[in-house]
Structure 1
């Protein structure tokens, strides 16, 4: 009885011993900074002097700050248009999931944007949009359209940056769907063909349902990528013109580093964290509900 109990205890303890280092670093470098940032949001602090407790004043100030609402609205635009990465990624994955000569080289070309730094992508697209010598202006000139200063236009700049961000995001969702397509049961495909399924019928009723796990991951990472967008905004416009392209992550950075308002920046970070937390919790609840069903 003692040997059986000892073996059971060892089997329970062993996984925790392997996970202990990861749990430790997760608590120290993720969980602790989150609570530290939330705590800092209740203080007025310039990052150098003493902290002054002001309660919810930072959050009240956010409600009256037009730049905060502009940044929040831009995050909503990122969230809406970034979702285009999911169907585009699926379409490209379906196109690349075939055994033809040279398909690996084509896959590498589509995969290439994912491995490039976001800053490099921002610089490349800034050149692409340049109204003086950018390739986009040359294309518009073919159709007789005057140059459009996209990154200098308050109404177009956010959409231009989102388009730059979609390029690598589509590549990422494509990779997820390619992995999912490789795991599809060939028996079900053959059975569906014997039943006369083909084309759209095969895609909608057989392939897409089996890609549900890949779709779930693609949607989650796409939304998180949209909400934490920072690199492209910083490298392409620095939030300009006149703050019209700023997002919450960049607004937080701007207030904390340049305006020495660490508490205010922490409040912005807390709002962004809560938005992500609510979204992720909702999707996890949906996933668990579907699995139980």
Structure 2
């Protein structure tokens, strides 16, 4: 394990520590660094754009969690032996293997109020076109919907893998005791899917918090910064505004949110297993 551990320390642990240390400096990424203590974090507190990005990340976290139950439902639907089911599974999984940038472009076309498919759909019901990506109140929800499409596919595959590893003797014993439907799902299947559920929650949380590609390709944080998220805000400050220290502070906040969120679910899972 030593080679893998060395690579992990060099390419994961060290950059994390280095990024946290940069957050205490004023640095343009090229010239000398100046130690300023917690000033970057103080500036973040008084930056309204930071709070907009943080609120959008909270929305991403809340609505991205829909991928877990929807993915489970689709997995249960597809977990059957019928002719052509493998082709159907491939179609459901296909969104996950597409580049996030391509998904962003496709959904930008879909939302286009001039010629997009959404315009045709709402027009069929007699409504005016909805400029989703130009509306400050709708744009974040539109991007989240685009991100949910591949995320649901990924959680579906995780649950399908878990369903294939169920213990048949437990299911058969439950059937002999008269369990079926919701009772079978709740008391026999879901407990065995706990590891898959934990992994699905973790990857969904990480996917929500590191949301960048879709924001960059669909709106670039607009309109007027209303759809920006912490990852894109960090990129914008560090690369375009030459504020590497400020960007590192944003990255540190994002890292802590992710760490706390995942640690909470890990603690809950360990507590349930001990119980």
- Normalized against structure 2, the TM-score is what? 0.98
Deviation at 1:285, TM superposition (A): 2.4
Q: Deviations over 1:57-84 (max 9, x none)?
A: 0000000000000000000000000000
Q: Deviations over 1:153-179 (max 9, x none)?
A: 000000000000000000000001000
Equivalence for 2:80: 98
| Residue among 15, 36, 60 paired with 2:18 | 36
Q: Distance in 2 between matches of 1:211 and 1:281?
A: 20
Deviation at 1:197, TM superposition (A): 1.4
Residue 137 of structure 2 corresponds to residue 155 of structure 1: yes
CA contact (8 A) 2:26 2:36 kept: yes
Shifted more, 235-244 versus 46-55: the winner is 46-55
Equivalence for 2:105: 123
Deviation at 1:214, TM superposition (A): 0.8
Q: Distance in 2 between matches of 1:188 and 1:240?
A: 52
Shifted more, 241-250 versus 46-55: the winner is 46-55
Equivalence for 1:141: 123
Equivalence for 1:82: 64
Q: Distance in 2 between matches of 1:242 and 1:47?
A: 26
Q: Distance in 2 between matches of 1:282 and 1:153?
A: 35
Deviation at 1:194, TM superposition (A): 1.5
> Root-mean-square deviation (CA), in Å?
0.9
Q: Deviations over 1:72-124 (max 9, x none)?
A: 00000000000000010000000100000000000000010111110010000
Within 5 Å, which residues of 2 pair with 1:65-76? 65-76=47-58
Which blocks of at least 5 consecutive residues in structure 1 are unaligned?
Answer: 1-18
Equivalence for 1:22: 4
Within 5 Å, which residues of 2 pair with 1:1-293? 19-293=1-275
Spell out structure 1 runs of 4+ moving beyond 6 A: none
Q: Distance in 2 between matches of 1:180 and 1:222?
A: 17
Larger Rg: 1
Tell me the secondary structure at the aligned position of residue 91 of structure 2: helix
Residue correspondences, number = 275
Shifted more, 183-192 versus 72-81: the winner is 183-192
